[in-house]
Amino acid sequence: MRSVADSLALGIANQNDLETVRDGEPAYLLLIDGFILNDPDNEDLLLAGARLYDTYAGIFVEDKQRAARLSDKARDYARRALCQPYPTVCRHDKGSYDGFSRAITQVDGDELALLYGYATAWAGWVQAHSHDFRAIAELPKIELAFEQIIKFDPAYERGQAQLYLGVLRTLRPPALGGKPEVGRQHFENAIKYSDGRNLYAKVEFARRYARLIFDQELHDKLLNEVMDAAPEERGLTLNNTLAQQQARQLLDSSAAYFEE
């Protein structure tokens, strides 16, 4: 069953046609729900379900209420996967920061897949519930989860954990407590650990950091590199295709943005 779950997620990640995924992924969601219904404690199925729901809600669903519902399911699946071996984490993830910070250190380097699935689904859930200040208040805990991952493996998932940390640390300008230079290092690490093949890391670097500090030269350089690259890369093709779409939009608005 693990091979089936992995194949579902990888098949979507390797797709270079966004419309095909938009139209076809709902069938995969129903399929993975059925697998989980029959085997509700299977960590591999739960992680695959979390990943599929998180991807679909974050990329393809424009209706905010629907995206929130789908992200709820992604987070639920991810929590169920992690909380079987680490129930203390889930007892504290809705509680105090200090309690959660102690609990998250119990996750060791052999369980990074569970922690990564949990952290990414949680981040997607916050994005889908960004209208709720209580959801936004959970971002520091999500940072801790990603920090635990890179503590064990800085290059985990070819730098994807670094990319998430880059985004989290550039959400606010320095005057409001943001850490854009720390974020820049995370973005650069994400690019390095993917050998430059994670095009979405460059898009987020441009969007989150270059625009934040008003560096148009860096902004346009990164985005032109994305446009000039081939999107096909095992496990990254879908995100790279989306990255090129967004890079074009950001380049088209570059002059107007930096002239403000």
Domain boundaries, the chain: 1-120, 154-260
% residues pLDDT > 70 (the chain): 98
What's the rounded Cα separation, in Å, for the pair 64 and 78? 21
Least-confidence region, from 10-14, 125-129, 198-202: 10-14
The predicted pLDDT at position 175 comes to 79
The predicted pLDDT at position 125 comes to 97
The predicted pLDDT at position 2 comes to 57
Taking residues 37-66, what's their average pLDDT? 94
pTM across the whole model:
0.94
Q: Which residues of 5-40 are buried (b: 16+ CB within 10 A; e: fewer)?
A: beebbeebbebeeeeebeeebeebbeebbebbeeee
Least-confidence region, from 23-32, 119-128, 147-156, 221-230: 23-32
Decide if domain 154-260 falls under CATH 1.10.10.10. Answer: no
Output the CATH code of domain 1-120. Answer: 1.25.40.920
Find out whether 163 and 198 touch, Cβ atoms under 8 Å: yes
Taking residues 12-33, what's their average pLDDT? 91
The chain-wide mean pLDDT, for the chain, equals 94
- Mind listing the pLDDT tens digit for each residue in 172-221? 888 777 889 999 999 999 999 999 999 999 999 999 999 999 999 999 99
